[in-house]
């Protein structure tokens, strides 16, 4: 066994003759355990919140989406659809047409987006699984709305006597003249609500889903014009090759975005919050590990006679410094491991029992990741090495000679 390690682990296990030194050592160890446990719990909590937040986008957004490179719309010809079907990496695709519209019902109004989708939409997204009331039915002038829109406008499913009225401005250029006002500068569509979806507050107030052909007629677009194509990709194929194949079919006409790119702002916000929280708790750990410096210095002073004896027996100053350096690293490493173990038990208990709840039916989301274990232990060990190096550097010939 290495001489420095042998003496250091003896110092860690043994008690000092002075009770004050023992109390300081115990408090130092406790601070390391609590600090590492707190950091791991917070990182696990943020990982759970990130997964929970992104689960909404996984429901609404496809694996890959084609959007117009310029303007709001682009055309998809029959030949291009045949070419899309021949791409091996595409499991399914769905065309959509989206535009901002004015909704009115029973003298109440709301501005939202109408999204016309074809019959394959349920194959590329999981929107049909979010239905809270009614059914996912879009044919025969039916529509699906969010629960937020339903509450704002007082809508209920299958109300044929008083349907939802959708108003969309007519396409064109120039000012609205009195003659055009007599002819109504907007198109109107009446929809019977067949179902109400429930995802999250912003999305619940944003979309009205209907049949693609109905929305194309409302916006005065022909059957080839769409605002996007949603793709569900085969998990076994190369995504990059599939993207290149799609882009060749629509040269310079579309921009392809995956789920992460479609929600880039959300991803950036979540990653920034995670990084900021990690840095704040690391700062707290840095302050807490000053206790390690103080505890090692107290140990050096307490073991001064032992150090003098070892020096007289031929131990060099470098080896004496290494003894206290190893002692500090051992204390921080063991404390970090115990803290992570305790925090892991708490995280696992939350995953299994859900004892901490946001609402009576929703447990606070947490996620256990080995990456977070590595981050916490690495942080503790690195800070412990720095603190131990600072404290052990106090050993010199002048101190030994006292």
**More confident: 399 or 286:** 286
Predicted local confidence at residue 212, as pLDDT? 94
Least confident of 146-150, 159-163, 307-311, 382-386: 307-311
Structure confidence by residue, pLDDT tens digits, 270-293? 888 888 888 888 888 888 777 778
Dist. CA 249–CA 268, nearest whole Å? 31
Structure confidence by residue, pLDDT tens digits, 82-121? 999 999 889 999 999 999 999 999 899 999 999 999 999 9
Q: Check whether 13 has a pLDDT greater than 70.
A: no
Over residues 16-22, the mean pLDDT reads 67
Predicted local confidence at residue 100, as pLDDT? 95
Predicted local confidence at residue 224, as pLDDT? 92
**CA triple 381-387-391, angle to 5 deg:** 140
Over residues 287-312, the mean pLDDT reads 74
The answer to whether 379 and 285 are in contact (CB under 8 A) is: yes
Least confident of 135-144, 289-298, 323-332, 344-353: 289-298
Q: What is the DSSP letter of 219?
A: T
Dist. CA 228–CA 397, nearest whole Å? 76
Over residues 41-46, the mean pLDDT reads 91
The answer to whether 280 and 374 are in contact (CB under 8 A) is: no
Q: Check whether 36 has a pLDDT greater than 60.
A: yes
Q: What is the DSSP letter of 129?
A: G
**Continuous segment of H or E residues that includes residue 392:** helix 370-392
Predicted local confidence at residue 59, as pLDDT? 82
Structure confidence by residue, pLDDT tens digits, 170-227? 876 655 555 455 567 789 999 999 999 998 888 899 999 999 999 999 999 999 999 9
> Where residue 81 falls among pLDDT bands split at 50, 70, 90?
very high
Structure confidence by residue, pLDDT tens digits, 328-355? 888 888 899 999 999 999 999 999 888 8
Dist. CA 208–CA 191, nearest whole Å? 10
The answer to whether 229 and 83 are in contact (CB under 8 A) is: no
> Where residue 326 falls among pLDDT bands split at 50, 70, 90?
confident
């Amino acid at each position: 066994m290495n001489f420095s390690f042998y003496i250091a682990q003896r110092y860690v296990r043994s008690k000092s003759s002075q009770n004050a030194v023992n109390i300081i050592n115990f408090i130092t160890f406790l601070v390391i355990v609590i600090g590492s446990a707190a950091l791991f719990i917070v990182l696990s909590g943020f990982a759970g919140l990130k997964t929970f937040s992104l689960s909404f986008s996984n429901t609404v957004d496809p694996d890959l989406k084609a959007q117009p490179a310029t303007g709001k719309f682009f055309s998809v010809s029959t030949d291009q659809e045949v070419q899309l079907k021949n791409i091996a990496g595409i499991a399914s695709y769905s065309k959509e047409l989206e535009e901002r519209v004015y909704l009115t019902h029973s003298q109440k109004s709301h501005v939202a987006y109408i999204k016309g989708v074809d019959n394959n939409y349920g194959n590329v997204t999981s929107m049909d699984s979010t239905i809270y009331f009614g059914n996912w039915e879009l044919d025969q002038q039916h529509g699906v709305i969010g629960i937020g829109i339903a509450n704002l406008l007082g809508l209920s499913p299958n109300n044929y006597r008083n349907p939802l009225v959708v108003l969309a401005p007519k396409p064109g250029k120039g000012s609205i003249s009195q003659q055009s006002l007599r002819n109504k500068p907007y198109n109107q569509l009446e929809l019977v609500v067949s179902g109400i979806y429930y995802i999250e507050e912003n999305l619940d107030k944003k979309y009205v889903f209907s049949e693609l052909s109905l929305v194309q007629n409302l916006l005065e677009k022909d059957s080839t014009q769409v605002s996007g194509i949603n793709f569900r990709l085969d998990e076994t194929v190369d995504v990059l090759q599939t993207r290149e194949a799609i882009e060749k079919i629509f040269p310079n006409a579309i921009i392809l975005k995956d789920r992460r790119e479609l929600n880039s702002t959300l991803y950036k916000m979540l990653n920034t919050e995670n990084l900021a929280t990690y840095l704040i708790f690391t700062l707290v750990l840095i302050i807490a590990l000053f206790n390690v410096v103080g505890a090692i210095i107290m140990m050096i002073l307490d073991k001064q006679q032992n150090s003098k004896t070892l020096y007289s027996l031929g131990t060099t100053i470098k080896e004496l410094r290494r003894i206290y350096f190893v002692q500090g690293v051992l204390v921080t490493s063991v404390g970090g491991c115990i803290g992570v173990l305790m925090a892991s038990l708490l995280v696992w208990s939350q995953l299994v029992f859900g004892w901490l709840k946001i609402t009576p039916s929703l447990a606070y989301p947490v996620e256990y990741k080995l990456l977070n274990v590595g981050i916490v232990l690495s942080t503790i060990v690195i800070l412990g090495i720095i603190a131990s190096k600072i404290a052990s550097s106090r050993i010199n010939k002048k101190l030994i000679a006292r």
